[in-house]
Amino acid sequence: QVQLVESGGGLVQAGGSLSLSCAASGRPFSMYSAAWFRQAPGKEREFVAAIKTNAITTYYAASVKGRFTISRDNAKNTVYLHIDSLKPEDTSVYCCAAGVVWGSHGTSSSYNYWGQGTRVTVSS
């Protein structure tokens, strides 16, 4: 089992930046790919970004590419999401996920472990 706890959410103004963290405990985190998903009120969960175990290969949703950066520190069992140029439409609950991914890194069903999420609200 892997437990994931997100932090770093909050209220920010449009155009600002924010960094989210997801701390993992349990099994060695380096075994798993990690990802961030988000879910806005009244909308379905949406893939944001993913990173493979090597901490080098990354994937991004087209809607966030260029503004979002995913990274991980396997020694600290933590995955990060840095967001620049925040927009009101980025307002969501951001959840991290981990799993041994055999298929698409952008599909929620590829991940076995999920955090509770951290809320990001962007004011215009």
pLDDT tens for the chain, 124 residues long, are 899 999 999 999 999 999 999 999 998 889 999 999 999 989 999 999 999 999 999 999 999 999 999 999 999 999 999 999 999 999 999 999 999 999 899 999 999 999 999 999 999 9
At residue 79, the pLDDT reads 98
At residue 96, the pLDDT reads 98
At residue 28, the pLDDT reads 87
At residue 1, the pLDDT reads 87
At residue 103, the pLDDT reads 87
User: Cα(122)–Cα(124) distance, rounded to whole angstroms?
Assistant: 7
Tell me the backbone φ, ψ of residue 35, rounded to 5 degrees.
-150, 160
Half-sphere exposure of 56 (CA within 13 A, CB side): 1
Six-digit token string for 55: 């901490």
